[in-house]
Copies of this chain bind each other. A is one copy, B any other.
Amino acid sequence: MNDFILHNPTKIIFGKTAMQKIVEHLKPYGAKVLLTYGGGSIKKNGIYEKIIQQLAGFTVQEFSGIEPNPRIETLRKGIEIARAFQPDIILAVGGGSVIDGSKLIAAATYYNGDAWDIVTNPDLNPSKYIPLATVLTLAATGSEMNRGAVISKWETHEKPAFGRNELYPVFSICDPQNLYSVPKDQTAYGIVDAYSHVLEQYINTTLDAPIQDRFSEGILLTLIENALTAIQEPTNYTARANVMFSATMALNNLIGVGVNQDWATHQIEHEFSAFYDIPHGAGLAIITPRWMEVVKDYKTAKFIQYGKRVWGISGDDEDIIANAIQKTYDFFASLGIKMSLKEWGIDNAHFPEMIQRLAGKAGKEKPLTAHEIQTILNNCL
């Protein structure tokens, strides 16, 4: 096991009664709330109304329109609003994109320069971070309980991740009922995202960290067991709750402590969605099995463990690995996800550029070569 620091100050308020507790947890931070959200779906499903009613005693400024794969161009407007309003706290209502975008607002409002500097330079810090709280409306990224965010710059097709310890949300309201109106495809993409977060931290060469391994396998199994129900019965509380809790635990500095992490799949996907604006989870579903084929030869022991423990496969080692990769593919396909780029209308036109950006950089355990990335991309077509 590698040395590590395990620390997560976020308070998760989970369950059927969580929405009634917003005021109680918000109050200690002050009276001025910057309410951030996305394209307005929270106005259709009633979540906006519930929150606004509770915020009667606060001074509220809104900033809406944070899009999926949130863009620096949009967020700069939010930062201007925050600079003028000077909120005591930001309340981000949405999924990973809204929360990620709000993290940048929290970080850049008191930074004397352009917000993109904060994203690209991990050593830059503002004079002050605005405390961030969230109301989660999509189970996927884990952003409600972690320090990271992914921001897109559309003009240059960049989509880097950034993070600061100060950006752990101070609290997150996780009511599984808030997922009831999430469409089937978004539910499926969220499940793939969470599943992929686990694989990035679990499929490694670290073989002496059984707690982390078994926690990872527990999350994967829970996602597998609850995915179809969550998609087919959108108001099934238990399925929604287990998917929601899985997604939070998949990326909150728990299963990844003390082990080698990889993140090649995410790095490749960020190139996809920087060029094509394909949903993040959709890209991950396509890349993951193809990435597995390329790295199975050096992460062998963990692939065998994954096959046995998560998919219950027995047989000789080679069969187990082949089967485990196929089962992973089949699982994503069973959620109704398109499993090739062609189905998204994407061809290989941008592959050379992607390969150039990723070669020698994608994959923390052992960076992928240009040839390996080429193989993965070709197999995604």
**Are A214 and B221 also in contact (CB < 8 A) when A6-B11, A6-B14, A12-B5 are?**
yes
Instruction: Name the one of B1, B8, B211, B249 contacting A219, with C-beta atoms under 8 angstroms.
Output: B211
Taking a contact as CB atoms under 8 Å apart, the answer to whether A222 and B210 are in contact is: yes
Task: Tell me if A41 is interfacial: C-beta within 8 Å of chain B.
Answer: no
Instruction: Name the one of B4, B15, B210, B213 contacting A258, with C-beta atoms under 8 angstroms.
Output: B15
Size of interface on A: residues with Cβ below 8 Å to B: 40
Task: Tell me if A208 is interfacial: C-beta within 8 Å of chain B.
Answer: yes
Task: Tell me if A18 is interfacial: C-beta within 8 Å of chain B.
Answer: yes
- Taking CB atoms and an 8 Å cut-off, the chain A residues in 195-215 that contact chain B are 208-211, 213-215
Taking a contact as CB atoms under 8 Å apart, the answer to whether B211 and A245 are in contact is: yes
Task: Tell me if A340 is interfacial: C-beta within 8 Å of chain B.
Answer: no
Task: Tell me if A51 is interfacial: C-beta within 8 Å of chain B.
Answer: no
The 8 A CB mask of A2-36 against B (1 = contact, 0 = none) is 11111111111111111000000000000000000
Taking a contact as CB atoms under 8 Å apart, the answer to whether B241 and A1 are in contact is: yes
- Taking CB atoms and an 8 Å cut-off, the chain A residues in 224-277 that contact chain B are 225-226, 238, 241-242, 245-246, 249, 257-258
Instruction: Name the one of B7, B15, B226, B242 contacting A11, with C-beta atoms under 8 angstroms.
Output: B7
Task: Tell me if A279 is interfacial: C-beta within 8 Å of chain B.
Answer: no
Residues of B within 8 A of A5 (CB): 11-14
Taking a contact as CB atoms under 8 Å apart, the answer to whether A211 and B249 are in contact is: yes
Bound CA–CA A214/B209 (angstroms) = 16
7 pairs, A vs B, C-beta closer than 8 Å: A5-B14, A9-B9, A208-B242, A210-B218, A210-B221, A211-B249, A214-B219
Q: Which residues of A contact B (CB under 8 A)?
A: 1-18, 208-211, 213-215, 217-219, 221-222, 225-226, 238, 241-242, 245-246, 249, 257-258
Using A209-B242, A215-B215 as known contacts, list a sample of 14 further A-B pairs with CB atoms less than 8 Å apart, ordered by residue number in A.
A3-B14, A3-B17, A3-B18, A4-B12, A7-B11, A7-B12, A9-B9, A14-B258, A210-B221, A210-B222, A210-B242, A211-B242, A213-B218, A214-B221
